[in-house]
Amino acid sequence: MGTNQRTNRRLPSEIAWLQKESNDINHLSFFDYFQSYSQTTAIRRFKEITQYIPAKEKREQVLSKFNKWKRSKQAKQYWARRKNDQVKCNQNKEINIGSDTETTDAAIAESVETIDLDEAKSLIREDCVSNSSRNQSGLQKAFFDFKLDTFNSINNSNLLSYESNLQHILALSNILIVKKNVYDTGLDNYFKNTSSIDSIRKDIFETLKYKFADKKVPKDIIINFIDIANDLSNGVMSKINAMKKIIDTLTECMDPILVKLLLCFKALVNALPANTQQKKVKENELCTRYLQPLFQSLFDSDEDDNMLFKWINTITFNRDSDEGQSAVTNNRPDGCVENDRKTIGYVEVKLIDYSTNHHKINVDLHRLGVFGKTALSKYNLNRTFQVMAIGTNLQFYTCQNVDGVCIMTELNSLRLPISLDELPQLVPYFDRMYNIVETIYNNCYSKDNISTTTDTNSNNGTLEPKVLKAITEKSVDRTRYNCFYHPSH
């Protein structure tokens, strides 16, 4: 009786198949239907399912046919072909790493119109170079000179690559990316007579009132949460008791940013497995188990215009005919922070497997820059924010217009734990998390996040996909130098 109960619990889909095929029960039909089973599993489960055939005579007939077939040449050929098909299927899955967004982006890439390099150069000259102001001083002039030299290089038939030329590709869309500690050193030739890139970064931080070294989280809370994390990691405290302790820490008069951090910690305690998984984490699991607890806890806000974090993977900008939005915004971000009226944040996710794939990572950084820039003009905002997630390694950015240039500035980076074993490593970074979240809320969620000026130069000139396709290398080479590479683990 115990064996029958165990088999019954294990075979719900097989029983459904048996009921469907009751008039023509055949071993090959069973094997073809359950393609994901290995040879051993398929044979074992077929034999088990025959025990549910009511008529003894029919059951013996089905097993007799199978036993005769399994020793034949046809059986060997069938299993060899099936194994080969499964290997090909697995290879395709590894290429896509189970990512729906990869499939979607590939479909979009296939549908991009193809134009030749001469037509692309003509469009760049018209939209990105001729419309830029040549008579401004300071940042705008230095940036225009860099953009013009980038165009001249393309004009001499030198194609760009996402791996080595992200700074140049973004510049042609009027976006200057300023990472935390790195940038394309070629910019020094243009900004030497004006503010350096380091000075620009400091100026942006000042306008954001971002003080990355401030310590805002009380030490007693940090010590208390280190104890909780260590007890969880060592298995001497249950998740329920840990979450109760976290809730007991909260008070009505507590700083709202600190409340978000503590609730984020509670959400991670609830979601994280006890130990690091040996099995590869696919994108859906990465998003829902590891990233969503943090993003929802930090970025959902009932008080600030009911902003919500969402996984979307859909087109975020409607190309109304009177707005002339670039077709590049037909790309789909993985996630966003929005309400019914506007979107203030964008998220792109890549599996840790892609951490050294400079092409894919930089394509996503380009997308984030374009999304951020487009949202500034479409929703009439002063600032937007972006998050690049490579596995559980997070990079936080803001976008804002400065002197007619959209500047995409990295605030800081974090690595989330992937198990309760790693949870104690997060607590010492509470101050860093606090400063990032506080800056995003003060600048992007604020009711004052409304642009009072119109920067015509920053609202146009975004390269369309057909132009990007024409001016970038078709090959992908991980050995190309990438100044923006950030080690992830």
How many whole angstroms separate alpha carbon 359 and alpha carbon 480? 9
How many Cα neighbours within 13 Å face the side chain of 229? 23
Q: Can you give the pLDDT at residue 480?
A: 82
State the pLDDT at residue 108. 52
Distance (Å, whole) CA 443 – CA 210? 10
Distance between start and end Cα atoms, the chain: 49
Q: How does 53-89 read in b/e, with b if 16+ C-beta sit within 10 Å?
A: beeeeeeeebbeebeeeeeeeebeebbeebeeeeeee
- Report the predicted TM-score, pTM, of the whole model to 2 decimal places: 0.76
Cβ 131 vs Cβ 315: under 8 Å: no
- What pLDDT shows up at residue 95? 45
In angstroms, the CA 444 to CA 398 distance is 9
Domain regions of the chain by residue span: 2-95, 97-489
Q: Tell me what pLDDT residue 93 has.
A: 46
For residues 430 and 217, is the Cβ–Cβ distance under 8 A?
Answer: yes
What ranges in 379-455 are assigned the alpha helix state H?
Answer: 430-440
Which H, E and C letters describe 126-175, residue by residue? HHHHCCCCCCCCCHHHHHHHHHHHHHHHHHCCCCECCCCCHHHHHHCCCE
Determine contact, residues 369/177, Cβ cutoff 8 Å. yes
Look at strands 343-350 and 383-390 and give their pairing.
parallel
pLDDT of residue 315: 56
Q: Give me the pLDDT at residue 46, please.
A: 85
Angle in degrees, 0-180, between the axes of helices 256-271 and 292-299, rounded to the nearest 10: 160
pLDDT profile of the chain (489 residues), mean per 10: 42 72 84 82 84 86 89 87 73 47 53 79 74 65 90 90 93 92 85 83 94 91 95 94 96 94 96 91 92 96 86 62 47 89 95 92 95 94 96 96 93 95 94 96 93 58 88 82 80
